[in-house]
Amino acid sequence: MICRETIVHIPLSEYAFINSETSITIRIRTGKDNLKRCTLYYGDRVYPTDPIIFTPVEMYKVASDLYFDFYEVTFESPYTRVCYYFDIEDDEEQIYLYSNIFSKELPEERSEFYQYPFMRREEINTVPEWLKHAVVYNIFPDSFASGKRNIEGNPDEIPWESKILLHSRLGGNIRGIIENLDYIAELGFNCLYLNPVFVAAEYHKYDLLDYYHISPNLGTDKDFEELVEAIHNKGMHIIIDGVFNHCSWYFFAFDDVVKNGVRSRYKDWFYDLEFPVIRPENPNEKPNYSCFAYERKMPKLNSSNAEVREYFVEVGRYWIEKFHVDGWRLDVANEVDRDFWRAYKRATREANPESVMIGEIWESAESWLRGDMFDSTMNYDFRKNCRDFFGTEKINAKEFAGRITDMMYRYPTGILHGQLNLLDSHDVSRFMSYCKGDIRRFRLAEVFLFTSPGVPSVFYGDELGMDGNSEFTLRGPMPWNNPISDEREFLQKLIDLRKENETFVTGSFKEVFSDENGLYIYERSLKGKTITVAINARNLKVALNMVSVDNVLISAEYSDKILGPFGYVIWM
């Protein structure tokens, strides 16, 4: 019997989306190994006479997780207005599915079928081409460099307005990034993502005081202008960090609220104020206003307020128009009013139609990635799954494969290609801290990072083996002169491999094999070209008898169809 309770199709979602004004993808989820056939029938929903003429297209099982199969078909539609239904069959029965109704008969009225009302160009699910091809190097400015292949490593503070002190911990700055652009470019990276660089009191720069200037302890506006120009001269792009969920408790508007209370013209700029507003001296005292998490020094902005929206939308436009940054990574994005982000996207796209918005959303982000807000999100699920498989061995290859399937099929294909995949960041432990001191585990995770759909992002110093599982160690000084493990040549090979093969950028992804230990095999295919990757994430040898290995591109611990412990092989 067909397991009806396992079947899912949702119109106008990751289950039904357009790739161009004529190309449409339809998906359906079914019970694992439950169906023997699934056919999609589609027609013109405004066909001038009855009955509508439907065209059948066979759907293919493209992926499976531990419990479900995913069927998919992508086709060119001669119609801009489409209605459709499914004809599904197992060994015992055949039924139709339309509008979430299972039936032996088709409906009489065309409105009862599934609908794609109109294939509007604004609804095409994609991201700018440059983002798809980006290889991102993420820099935490205070920790990276203060000179050529050097980081000062000393804390400092400088006075700003109203006797506010601006702190640095390690002395990294914009000039240091400029002087080491050659290093980044030679590794093969073509995009920089900088954590915050605007005026802020703390070393991390997430407590913003002034959104229109570079923090003086990082450099000057002129330094930043020079950096962006140098990046673009190398054919690279730059993404900067925007913090619009909260600000510093000395930001001019909040300072006015503290001083003037209910009379302040900015009292509606902040969330859940109680008067009088008091800055708690005791870090353990709960403030009488909403904050970022429980951080008293970072009051939460009321992003649904029209003045707040106008102020910060102009900030976004300013840095694109004046300094020509290519996009924004947006902090705590899922706590900000959605209409704020819609206005922000309209403004930044007007300033530069190729600019991008990447949201910091740690969970699945389907509702944020529908074209009206973000182009991409930081893919922390990618990190979590790699940690549990390559690092801690919490899951085996079959479980890992199931998680990857779920991760791949939660978004439309074009959006998947823009996801910012990462193994670590300034907010989480370095990936090496999970690798039990074994650099081979780290290398396998990097192989997966650079051969998966999505945009690979590497946190500064990972290429030099940086470790760390606490705030000051994971954001530690760049080990320019004493790398823990020099992985630069290895990363260069992976970056070159990705750049030389468009298959790794926009090709399809399909699992070939996974077992209950550490063997995971998958393939990427594009225009008749297929590249296969086999990864062995356990301390044992495995035979690759289930596949034919020819024309090896790169490998480690591989010989004569035997893949050694923590080895990999990539072939065409």
Q: Which residue has the tokens 């320019």?
A: 480
pLDDT in tens, 32-84: 999 999 999 999 999 999 899 999 999 999 999 999 999 999 999 999 999 99
Sequence-ordered list of residues with C-beta below 8 angstroms from that of 482, at least 6 positions apart, any chain = none
- Supply the angle between the helices 306-323 and 338-351 in degrees, to the nearest 10: 30
Q: Would you call 255 a catalytic residue per the annotation?
A: no
pLDDT in tens, 198-254: 999 999 999 999 999 999 999 999 999 999 999 999 999 999 999 999 999 999 999
Encoded tokens for 181: 């652009």
Q: Would you call 331 a catalytic residue per the annotation?
A: yes
Give the pLDDT band of residue 384 (cuts 50, 70, 90): very high
- Is residue 178 within 8 A of residue 226, CB to CB? The reply is yes
The region, left, alpha or beta by phi > 0 then psi within -120 to 50, assigned to residue 551 is: left
Burial of 61 (0-12, 13-18, 19+ CB in 10 A): middle
H/E stretch holding 505: helix 503-506
pLDDT, residue 152, reads: 94
Catalytic residue among 142, 207, 331, 406: 331
Alpha-carbon gap, residue 146 to 260, rounded angstroms: 41
- Is residue 446 within 8 A of residue 528, CB to CB? The reply is no
Give the pLDDT band of residue 300 (cuts 50, 70, 90): very high
Catalytic residue among 87, 360, 424, 467: 360
- Is residue 287 within 8 A of residue 281, CB to CB? The reply is no
Cα dihedral 322/375/200/209 (nearest 10)? 70
Residue 287 is classified by DSSP as: P
Alpha-carbon gap, residue 473 to 433, rounded angstroms: 10
- Is residue 87 within 8 A of residue 94, CB to CB? The reply is yes
Which CA distances in Å does 556 have to 438, 488, 500? Answer: 14, 16, 20
pLDDT in tens, 151-190: 999 999 999 999 999 999 999 999 999 999 999 999 999 9
Alpha-carbon gap, residue 193 to 207, rounded angstroms: 18
What mean pLDDT comes out for the span 327-355?
98
pLDDT, residue 489, reads: 98
What mean pLDDT comes out for the span 442-457?
98
pLDDT, residue 306, reads: 98
Chain Cα centroid distance, residue 414? 13
Sequence-ordered list of residues with C-beta below 8 angstroms from that of 539, at least 6 positions apart, any chain = 565, 566
Q: Is the dihedral of CA 269, 271, 277, 282 positive or negative?
A: negative
Encoded tokens for 253: 């508007």
- Is residue 414 within 8 A of residue 369, CB to CB? The reply is no
Q: Smallest Cα–Cα separation from 191: which of 128, 236, 224?
A: 236
pLDDT, residue 527, reads: 96
Q: Smallest Cα–Cα separation from 331: which of 452, 191, 200, 189?
A: 200
According to DSSP, the β-strands at 376-379 and 420-422 are parallel
Mean pLDDT taken over the chain: 97
Task: Report which residue type is found at 504.
Answer: F
Could you give the domains of the chain?
A: 4-123 (2.60.40.10), 132-246+299-500 (3.20.20.80), 247-298 (3.90.400.10), 508-571 (2.60.40.1180)
Please report, rounded to a whole number, the percentage of residues in the chain having pLDDT higher than 90. Answer: 99
Q: Which residue has the tokens 């990034």?
A: 177
pLDDT, residue 393, reads: 98
Q: 434-450: string of b/e by CB count within 10 Å (b at 16+)?
A: bbeeeebbbbbbbbbbb
Q: Smallest Cα–Cα separation from 61: which of 52, 71, 51?
A: 71
Rg (CA), the chain: 26
Q: Which residue has the tokens 């959605």?
A: 338
pLDDT, residue 449, reads: 98
The region, left, alpha or beta by phi > 0 then psi within -120 to 50, assigned to residue 549 is: beta
Encoded tokens for 201: 């009191």
